[in-house]
Structure 1
């Protein structure tokens, strides 16, 4: 009887272990929306006349579609002070360009995108950025006192509130690192902003800077509204932590004036930028 009971138990265990049911879960897909990448960046030392705005459509997370460029839109930017209009011409791949843009620090501009009978509009003021006084390297400023970090030294203007965006990318890295800051506690002072390669959460490896490595640096002056937008975007891009908020669709400043419910993703910004690089010794 005991042998019979054990045999039944063994057969039952094998049966349960070999039973694999494929469960199909219906994942709700969001509405496909217009994505407006309208970053008009005036690099110091250039005329800033060549600018590009990219339009595409959002896709479901698991969609493998790569060609989502919008090719049938009308795109223009208007200087609100004098009414000068800059028409952006489609290049066939979702990119719309102009070669006659006139950037003026402190002046307001309005973006207008017309797509599928609906009009999207956004407004922004061109924000200046100070020059970089010096770029150095050290090991004492970062989280690890043995790893190299790059230091961006600049003097913050005292007369106004300032908001900054930094973009760092080590040569050979696939993606850059974005960091935002303001002058709340350093107004009018000389500022040293340091950047150190951090631990990779996926591999638990630290890919620290080494002598001979080159890092590209972009230093932007940005508006307070865009700074608030970037803070949320950076937090969500870094992943959910213990005290992080639940990721939600992030709305920018591009408003659908025809149908408010059909809002667009993306942001219209106008900034001045300093671009440079540094090679570690």
Structure 2
């Protein structure tokens, strides 16, 4: 019995030692590829498209920008919007007057020329949801909440199936960007397969405009905080793309059941080589509301 007990203790000891071993992970990163970050919208403000080089997953440096490209967006096959290089891979288009990039239903083509490569993508400007109101609610002695002020966004899905949305919340003009603060919706729910349609957004989406702590609990807002909520329309492809991004960002929560990391499949193509390019192109209609916490 003593020998058996000693053997078990020895095995456990080796287990702890093995857990301290450093493991080098081969990410199979070979050479940088172009990444296209082209999420623009119909707000009558400057629109930005970013071009960067991809890098190793474990590289914590800011991605290197790609300068020297010609970037254009063609609306309805006739109106060309030229994006000017601002340096560090940033390309900007400025509307004239109070004009926007387009209207709901307009078709758009992204055209990028870099050295000998021609990059292209296409999408359609889809409608977005209606924000009925953005309000402050005081919670006291409520299960799951610290006492304090919380925001609630009452939005309504437009009747007719197939509307996808990206709900962005800004606190004091800074995007809430923790992994679980990436909030997307399909017809006012989380599920593209549901029969829900043309109704107010479900309660979890209404509450998702609040900040999250590291343990995924809601953090109350402070007096004077400015809260802005924007709802951006998404194409079906964009919704699928962000769903993969969302899954990858929260992958660590699955511990031993986490899926291997992989690049999300975008809608941008190199027409010279007929290969996919990393990144995505979406033109959104947006609606927004803003409040200040009293």
State yes or no: 1:186 paired with 2:196.
Answer: yes
**Structure 1 residues 144 and 197: CA distance shift in structure 2, 3 A:** farther
SS in 2 for 1:264: strand
Distance 1:82 1:66 in 2: 35
Instruction: Name 1:5's counterpart in structure 2.
Output: none
Distance 2:33 2:77 in 1: 32
TM-score (norm 2): 0.73
> Which protein is bigger by CA-based radius of gyration?
1
Distance 2:172 2:184 in 1: 21
Structure 1 outlier segments of 4+, above 6 Å: none
Instruction: Name 2:285's counterpart in structure 1.
Output: 272
**Structure 1 residues 63 and 279: CA distance shift in structure 2, 3 A:** same
Give 1:264 shift.
Answer: 2.1
**Structure having the larger proportion of residues in helix:** 2
Q: Is the 8 A contact 2:251 2:259 kept in 1?
A: no
Instruction: Name 1:90's counterpart in structure 2.
Output: 85
Q: Is the 8 A contact 1:109 1:123 kept in 2?
A: yes
Q: Is the 8 A contact 2:104 2:127 kept in 1?
A: yes
Give 1:61 shift.
Answer: 3.6
Give 1:133 shift.
Answer: 0.8
Distance 2:101 2:218 in 1: 41
Instruction: Name 1:221's counterpart in structure 2.
Output: 233
Give 1:64 shift.
Answer: 5.8
**Structure 1 residues 102 and 199: CA distance shift in structure 2, 3 A:** closer
Q: Is the 8 A contact 2:146 2:220 kept in 1?
A: no
User: Deviations 1:100-154 (Å, cap 9, x if unpaired)?
Assistant: 46412111111011123111111110112233111123449x9714455422112
**Larger mean Cα displacement after TM superposition, 152-161 or 29-38:** 152-161
User: Deviations 1:35-71 (Å, cap 9, x if unpaired)?
Assistant: 111111112xx3x5x3221111112244465461111
TM-score (norm 1): 0.77
Tell me the C-alpha RMSD between the 2 structures: 3.0
Distance 1:143 1:109 in 2: 47
1:57-68 alignment runs, 5 A limit: 57-63=53-59, 65-66=61-62, 68=64
Structure 1 stretches of 5 or more lacking a match?
A: 1-21
Q: Is the 8 A contact 2:173 2:228 kept in 1?
A: no
